[in-house]
């Protein structure tokens, strides 16, 4: 499989079903798991929330920003569709069992804010203004 990055073509070798390395490591040129990668940095994923999942227990659920109101806490930051969990895992996932993959920065301090409710992005439900002539 090939992946185009700007002007460079990256060839991705087939990977087995067990981690800790995934395609996202190959795209970044990583050839070995680095459990201390990301140490000392903070990241925040703003998406559909996160978890619960064992490999992301260290992630702090800050809360949810919905319809102009902020709801604090990890329960408010819980994922509504698994997309945010997937994105957070690519970045900060930690190997927690033999078949798990690691993120690219598993030692980072990770935070999550949920900005989508059960129906999806709130901006998609707003009426669109149309131009008139």
Q: What is the CA radius of gyration of the chain?
A: 18
- In the chain, domain spans: 7-118
Residue 128 is predicted with a pLDDT of 45
Prediction pTM value = 0.74
Consecutive H or E run containing 32: none
User: Which token pair is 21?
Assistant: 């390395």
Q: Greater confidence, 4 or 92?
A: 92
Residue 130 is predicted with a pLDDT of 47
The two most distant CA atoms of the chain are separated, in Å, by 63
- pLDDT digit string, tens, across residues 43-84: 999 999 999 998 999 999 999 999 889 999 999 999 989 999
Q: Is 93 exposed, middle or buried (0-12, 13-18, 19+ CB in 10 A)?
A: buried
Residue 72 is predicted with a pLDDT of 97
Q: Which residues contact 92 (CB under 8 A, 6 or more apart)?
A: 38, 43, 56, 58, 59, 103, 105, 106, 108, 110
- pLDDT digit string, tens, across residues 79-119: 989 999 999 999 999 888 765 788 889 999 999 999 998 77
- pLDDT digit string, tens, across residues 10-49: 666 665 556 677 777 777 777 667 889 899 999 999 999 9
């Amino acid at each position: 499989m090939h992946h185009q990055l700007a002007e460079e073509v990256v060839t991705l070798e087939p990977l087995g079903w067990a981690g800790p390395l995934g395609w996202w490591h190959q795209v970044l040129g990583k050839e070995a798991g680095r459990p201390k990668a990301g140490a000392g940095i903070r990241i925040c994923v703003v998406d559909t929330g996160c978890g619960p999942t064992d490999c992301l227990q260290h992630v702090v659920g800050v809360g949810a920003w919905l319809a102009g109101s902020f709801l604090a806490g990890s329960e408010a930051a819980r994922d509504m569709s698994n997309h945010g969990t997937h994105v957070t895992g690519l970045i900060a996932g930690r190997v927690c069992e033999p078949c798990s993959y690691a993120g690219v920065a598993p030692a980072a301090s990770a935070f999550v804010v949920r900005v989508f409710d059960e129906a999806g992005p709130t901006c998609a439900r707003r009426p669109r203004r149309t131009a008139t002539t």
